[in-house]
Structure 1
Amino acid sequence: MGQSVLILASPRDATADRVAAELALRGVAAIRLDAAQFPGEIAMTATISSGGRWRGSLSAVDDGRQVVGLEQVGAVYYRHPEQFVLDERMSAPERVFGYREARGGFGGVVQALASARWVNDAVRAAQCEYKPVQLAAAARVGLAIPQTLITSDPQAAYDWAQGLGRPIVYKPLGGIWHGDQGRIRVLYTTPVGDLESLRDPAIGRTANLFQEQIPKRFEARAVVVGDQVFAMRIEAGSERARIDWRADYDALTYAELQLPARTCEMLVELHRRLGLVCGAVDLIRAEDGRDVFLETNQAGEWGWIAEEIGAPIAAAIADELTSEAR
C-alpha cells in the first residue's frame, strides 16, 4: 500500500506504539496524531464539491508544515485519542460550542475519508461501548453469555435474583474508571452477597447491570484481528483476582490457550456483525467446559498478551491496515 496510515491515539498509548513500530519495520509511512492536538497544534483545511471527495491537509500550526494530505491517508488506526483541547481564553459556553464544532469538523472529515480502511471504525466502535449491544450480538452468533438483568427497579432486581437461585454479581455499565469529586475510583465486578440489598431505593436512581456468577475454571482474554484469534489463559492466585482479575494483577499467571475452533468462529463472526476489525474479548471457561462471553473492548490492551505468549498481534493489525485487497 503506497498510502499513509494515520494513527489516532494518545501519545501515552503503548499499544499503539507497537503497531507504529511494526509499520515502521515494513517501511509504511505512519503519521501519529492525537485529537488533543487540534486545534492548538494541528490545523485542518478541507474542501469538497459536487462529484468529489474531501481534499486538503493537516498541518502544523507553528510553521504551517504539512503533516499529511487527506488524499494520502489509506488507513486509520483508531485507539483512544484524547479530547480536543480548546483555548483557555474561551468562556465555558464557547468551549462547549467549540468542542462540538471540532468534533463535527475534524472528526467528521477524518471519518469521511473515502479510501481509508479503519481499524476500528469510530462510529461502530462507539456503538460497541454499549454492553447490551455486545451481549445481544454475542447471543445471536451462538456464544454462551451469563444470564443478565439491567434494571432501575429494586423489586425487579430482587425478584430476578431470587428466581435465579444462584450467586450474582454487579458490574458497571460504563467501564471501571469513574471520576468522583476530583478523584478516580475503580469499580470492579462485585458479588452481591445480601439479596435484600437489592431492595435499596438507590437502585432506582439509574440503570444497574446484574449477572449470574459463573463457576469457572479460569478466565481468558482473546484478541480478535480479522479472522485470527490469539488467546491467553489467565489464572487467578487471589480471591480478589478470582472475582475480577483486573483487581490484582500481581496474583495472575498466564499461558497460551487454544480455544475450540467453534468458539473462534463465533468470536470472528461476532466482531464482523459489530463492524469491528479487532477487539479484546474477556471470556470465562466455566466448570462445565463452556466458553462464556463477557465483553469485547474495541480498543482493549493486548501488549502484555503479546509479551507473555509471543502472539504476533501487532503484525496482524498491521496486515489489516496495509492490505490492498480490502
Structure 2
Amino acid sequence: MSILILTRSDDNESVAMVTRAIEARGERVIRLDSDRYPTDLRLSMDLDPAGHRTTMRVGNAAFELGEVRSIWLRRHHIAAALPTDMDAQLRAGAVAESRAALFGLLGSLDAFWMDPLPVIRWAGQKPLQLKLAQELGLLVPRTLITNDPDRAREFARDCPGGVVAKMLSSFRVLDDGIEKVVFTTPVTEAHLEQVSGLRWSPMTFQQRVRKKLELRVTIVGQRVFAAAVDSQAFERATEDWRRDGLAMLDAWRPYALPAGVERRLLALMSRLELNYGAVDIIVTPDDEHVFLEVNPSGEFFWLERCPGLPISDAIADVLTGRAARCLRVAYDRAAGAPL
C-alpha cells in the first residue's frame, strides 16, 4: 500500500520531512506534483466491466494508484506549466478540465484524505471559524466584516483600544515582479477618511488585542503542538508576526496550552471536520488566549527546526492509520446541522 502526497514542484521541505517519516514506518510514498499535470505527468483511469484501474506515469516510472490508501492534500497548482501564450479561452478550459480530471480521478480512489478539498474550502471560511470558536467558548476579538463605510467608522469609534484591518483572502500584489502581501494593519484616522473605498471591496476589522505572546498551534488528528514567540520583541512584527517571520525562526519556544483551550480547539477541529490545521492565537498580558483563525493548509516546517516539534511524525501517523482521525459527519452547510 502507498501514501500519495499531492503537492507542487516548488513546495518546501515539509514534503521531504513527511516522506521520511512515512518511509520510516515502512510505507511507500508517491509524490504527485500537480503543476506537472497534464504537461509532464500522465494520469489514466480505465473503466470496463471488469472494474477500474487508475495509473500514473512520470517519465519511465509507473504507479498503480489503486494501491493508495491515504492522500495528503498538501498543495496544488494544476496545469501551471501550460504555455502562457496559449489562447486565453483555450488555456482556461484546459486548466478547468485538468483540475476536474485530477481531482476526479483521485476522488475515485478508496483512500483517506487529509483533508478533502471541499472540506478545506468550507472550513477555511474565517467568519464561520470565528462563529464556531465563540460558540465553543474560545475568546475571539470583536470583529466587523463589512463594505459599509458608516459601519466601519462606527466600529472604530466603539473600540477605544484601536482597530486593525485584515483580509479574509490571501491578498497579494506584484510590484515589479516582487510579491507583496497585505498584512494585518492598524487603522488610523487617515485610513478612516478613505474608508469610502469599501464600496469596491469589503474588509475585516477587529478590535486591537494587546499581545504578550503569539502562538502557532498545529493540530494533527488528536495531537496538539503549541509554540510561542514574543513578537513584540521584533519591531516589524508587532502587528503581524509574518511580516518578520524569517528573523523570528529561532525565537519560537514550546508552549503549554491550558487544558480548556486545547479541549475547545479540538472541538473546533471536529466541528470543521479537519484532520490538520494551523491555529493562530494571541496571549494577552492578562494571560487570556484569544483565537484568531485556523489555516487548514498552514505551514509547519520551521517549527520542526525550532522548537523541534515532531509534527511530520504526527502527520505520518495519521496518514498511515497509526493515529486517531477526525470522524467526519455529513453537514447541511446551510443549516449547520448533521444530516
TM-score under structure 1 length normalisation? 0.90
In the TM superposition, residue 199 of structure 1 has moved relative to its aligned partner by 5.1
Tell me if 1:96 matches 2:108.
Answer: no
Residue 207 of structure 2 aligns with an amino acid whose one-letter code is E
**C-alpha deviation, 1:49, in angstroms:** 6.5
- Distance in 2 between residues matched to 1:180 and 1:133, nearest whole Å: 33
Q: 106, 109, 115: which one pairs with 1:110?
A: 106
Preserved contact between residue 152 and residue 195 of structure 2 (Cα < 8 Å): no
**Aligned twin of 1:149:** 144
SS where residue 271 of structure 1 aligns?
A: helix
Identity percentage of aligned residues: 32
The equivalences for 1:165-244 within 5 A come to 165-175=160-170, 177-179=172-174, 182-194=177-189, 197=192, 200-236=195-231, 237-244=233-240
Structure 1: runs of 5 or more not aligned: none
Query: What is the alpha-carbon distance in structure 2 between the residues aligned to residue 319 and residue 38 of structure 1?
Result: 28
Contact 2:226 2:256 in 1 (8 A): yes
Which shifted more, 71-80 or 160-169? 160-169
Q: Which moved more, 1:170-179 or 1:273-282?
A: 170-179
Query: Bigger CA drift: 205-214 or 126-135?
Result: 126-135
Q: Paired residue for 1:315?
A: 313
Q: CA RMSD in A?
A: 2.2
Aligned residue number for residue 81 of structure 1: 76
Deviations 1:236-280 (A, max 9, x none): 212321211111232572211000111111111111211210111
Preserved CA contact (<8 Å) 1:128 1:274: yes
Q: CA deviation at 1:196?
A: 6.3
**More moved, 225-234 vs 41-50:** 41-50
Where in structure 2 are there 5+ consecutive unaligned residues?
Answer: 326-339
Letter matched to residue 180 of structure 2: R
Specify the code of the residue in structure 1 equivalent to 2:292.
L
In the aligned structure 2, how far is the partner of 1:154 from the partner of 1:53? 59
Q: Deviations over 1:2-32 (max 9, x none)?
A: x100001123321121101111222210011
**How many angstroms does 1:176 deviate by?**
5.2
Deviation per CA, 1:52-111, whole angstroms, max 9, x where unpaired?
975321123x44x42x22311100011112231354274221111111111111112212
* SS across alignment from 1:243: coil
Which AA in structure 2 matches 1:33?
Answer: L
Q: How does 1:1-326 map to 2 (within 5 A)?
A: 3-11=1-9, 12-48=11-47, 55-60=53-58, 62-63=59-60, 65-66=61-62, 68-85=63-80, 87-88=82-83, 90-113=86-109, 115-175=110-170, 177-179=172-174, 182-194=177-189, 197=192, 200-236=195-231, 237-249=233-245, 250=247, 253-323=251-321
With over 3 angstroms needed to count, the CA separation of the structure-2 counterparts of 1:248 and 1:182, relative to structure 1, is closer
8 Å CA contact retained: 1:152, 1:208: yes
Moved more, 32-41 or 176-185: 176-185
Please give the alpha-carbon distance, in whole angstroms, between the structure 2 residues aligned to 1:297 and 1:255: 20
- Would you say how many aligned residue pairs link Structure 1 and Structure 2? 319
Cα separation, 2, equivalents of 1:120 and 1:4: 17
